Amino acid sequence: MRIALFSDIHANLPAFEAFLIDLDSRKLDAVYCLGDMIGYNIWPNEIIAEIRKRGIATLAGNHDQKTKGFAYELVSADNRAYLNSLPAHIKLEYQLNNDRLNMVLAHGSSRSINEYVLVDTDENYVLEMMVEAKADVLCVGHSHLPYHRTIGDKHVINIGSVGKPKDGNPKGCYVILNIAENGDLNPEFIRFEYDIKKAVQAIENSELPDELADRLKRAF
C-alpha cells in the first residue's frame, strides 16, 4: 500500500502544479490532503477546484477556517461552503494479516487544529495523545517542518509543506507512506522544485503584504 499525504499548499499554485506533476508520475493507492489549501497567496480557488475535481479526501486546516483578510476573501462562496464542510480528522484502519494498523490524519494534532506536534514535543504528551486517539500512526502538517519520529512501536510523521517550506529547503515537500503486509511503515519524504519567483511576483502584484513574498525569497 502506497499512500500520498500532502498539506499546507497555501494558495501557491506554481508549487501545487509542480507537486501534481510529481504525484502523477508515481504509482499510488490513495491520496489525502491534510489542510491549509488557502492563505498567503492569490490562487485559493484554483487549488480547491483541482482538489475537488480529483476527489481527494481532505481535512480542514486552521487557515481554511479563516475568512477575514485579502487572502481569505478571495475564496468563492461555493469553495467557502466546501471548506466549512471539511472534517477535523481522517481515521484509517488497515487489517494487516492478523493485526490492525490505526492511522489518524490531522492538520495540527488529534486534539486541536492549531496545535503543533514537533519533533521535540514531549514524548509522554505525544504518547498520551496517540493512546487517546487510538492511533498507531499520527500524521500531521501545520508546522511545515517534516520529520519521522518513533515512540516505542508508534509513529509520528509531519508531512512538511507543498507551498511554504520552513525547514531551510526551498523545495516543496510531501510524503508517501509505504505500508507492508506485516505492518512495517516506511515514509518517503519527496522534495520537488517549483517556480518560486512566479509565486513571489504574484504576492508582490497583489494586495497581500510584501512580507509574505520576502519569506519565499529567502528560499532562493
Q: Which residues contact 51 (CB under 8 A, 6 or more apart)?
A: 33, 37, 58
pLDDT at 165 over 80: yes
- The pLDDT assigned to 123 comes to 97
Per residue in 65-82, pLDDT tens?
999 999 999 999 999 999
pLDDT at 21 over 90: yes
- The pLDDT assigned to 182 comes to 83
The pLDDT > 70 percentage for the chain reads 99
Domains in the chain, CATH or no CATH each: 2-215 (3.60.21.10)
Rg (CA), the chain: 17
What mean pLDDT is predicted for residues 88-95?
95
pTM, full prediction: 0.96
Query: 51: which 3 cell numbers?
Result: 482538489
3-state secondary structure of 199: helix
Q: Which residues contact 219 (CB under 8 A, 6 or more apart)?
A: 165, 169, 170, 196
CB 41 within 8 A of CB 71: yes
> With bands split at pLDDT 50, 70 and 90, how would you rate the model's confidence at 183?
confident
- The pLDDT assigned to 219 comes to 66
